[in-house]
Chains A and B, each alone.
Chain A
Amino acid sequence: MATSPKPSGSGPSQPGSSQSGSPRSAAPGGVRLIAAGDEISRIIDRIAHQILEKTDGAKDTVLVGIPTRGEHLAQRVAARIGTFAGIAPPLGILDITLYRDDLRTRGVRPLENTEEPDGGIDGKIVVLIDDVLFSGRTIRAAFDALRDWGRPKAIQLAVLVDRGHRELPIRADYVGKNIPTAREEQVFVAIAEFDGADGIVISPSTPDRAAAMELIKAQGES
């Protein structure tokens, strides 16, 4: 899910402290739009270029998206790499639910798709792709899951949003947007294939999805 985990209640509120994305418009309830529409497409293009550069033309590289939105992001990044380099890297989907270390405390959740990329991951550079990087626990679980798939040459991480508050020493190789947030704030990423429009919003608490989508769509059209 794109909404970040439940707040712990600690940490000061820092409204309007976005580093690269000062709020462009706000809706009632303190929901702030950080990016929408073409801006997301440009971020994806940039990540695709960076991957090409860092992996020597995406040679021996596979992209692995983490459902739900990371899966769609990975598909888009792969398509853009295909456009820029002439050949799209193999694509995988990795649901990490069965590898989570917090199932006991947070309960079971429905499982999503998992598909190994064609040719496996042995000896390849695996680029994990997710929408939001927060505590880092999802990515840690992904490391465990990838180890069960094989032995990659390297694992890299691409995220659309890095919102901080890491609980593990994990850092992304490709970041679409750094958005400093308060811990209790929620980051909501919308992806056109899944939500109907592209956008990133921050809200002080669990966002009203309809209001967030309205804000994203209004901005995307203007």
Chain B
Amino acid sequence: MTHLLSAADLSPEQAVEVLDTAEQIENSLAGREIKKLPTLRGRTVVNLFYEDSTRTRISFELAAKRLSADVINFSAKGSSVTKGESLKDTALTLQAMGADAVVIRHSASGSPHRLAQWVEGSVVNAGDGTHEHPTQALLDAFTMRKRTGRGPGDDLAGLNVTIVGDVLHSRVARSNVLLLDTLGANVTLVAPPTLLPVGTESWPVKVSYDLDAALPKSDVVMMLRVQRERMNASFFPTEREYSRRYGLDMARVGALGPDAIVMHPGPMNRGMEIASDVADSARSTIVEQVANGVSVRMAVLYLLLGGKA
């Protein structure tokens, strides 16, 4: 594996290898005062963020630093990008500076694929437009595997995962559908018809418009953020209406099986797609997902960079 551009790049074996590696890394650092490994000493990882994302950037930064890599954070704001520099020129500059890996977040779908053609180092897609966010899918799968009592070597065969909300604009949903299918889980998408992309009938998923019908059969419910910044058309009548039909509140949680978990990629709109008491309940894995994100990103960086000369 040279790059991680899409969750679809991973074979079932490779996906399980990433999860296993993340688990072993987590075990090796558990209970340590100094959470640092010398594995990527002397390597340079560039975080190239054209879109604001504190959470993902910090997660990648921490992952790279815990593996002793040198980290350069590049934010489009206040850089030459605002003076009109193209992605290609930025890529060539990074290339000349000897970046071993570039972690890119960009509002344009497909930009990581273009970047991968211009740089020699590894490219990791940290979210491109409404397309994909593969490390988020990996950390979600890692969280599901741990929470459902599975361990090293296991996939997610037979796990019923319901993804609820704005699938249309969600790169998290796209990457999750691809990865969960690779790992053998059964995925159901629940959303208003206006927030489902064209072509979902060809995806390896079931589609439903009825959240209440889907909940009792779910082992995992993943709530997606309503992306207010992308709500530039009338996707649903009112926020209240959306919340009533597709929001997860305590009453709906009551319909879940005793061991079912609630996930959210964050940041949450409390009271909109998820009620505050659900987000803070024992079923919620939201904080755990953030912690798992660092382990999974360490695993990805190790697997991409560990063996390269």
Contacts and interface: CB of A to CB of B under 8 A. Distances in A.
A104 B307 contact: yes
A104 B303 contact: no
**Interface residue range, chain A:** 10 to 19
Given A98-B25, A99-B38, A108 B307 contact: yes
B interface, over-half SS = loop
A64 to B, nearest CB: 13
**Interface residue range, chain B:** 20 to 34
Contact of B308 (A104, A114, A115, A116): A104
A148 B34 contact: yes
Contacts of A210: none
Given A110-B21, A111-B21, A148-B34, A98 B309 contact: no
B15 to A, nearest CB: 14
Nearest to B27: A114
Residue from A98, A99, A148 having most chain B Cβ neighbours under 10 A: A98
A112 interface: yes
Contacts of A113: 24, 27
Contacts of B17: 110
Given A98-B28, A104-B308, A149-B32, 5 more contacts: A108-B306, A111-B28, A113-B27, A115-B27, A144-B38
Nearest 3 pairs between A and B by C-beta?
A: A107-B307, A111-B24, A108-B306
22 contacts: A95-B28, A98-B25, A98-B28, A98-B37, A98-B39, A98-B302, A99-B38, A99-B39, A103-B306, A103-B307, A108-B302, A108-B303, A108-B306, A108-B307, A111-B20, A111-B21, A112-B24, A113-B27, A114-B28, A115-B27, A148-B36, A148-B37
Interface of A: 95, 98-99, 103-108, 110-116, 144, 148-149
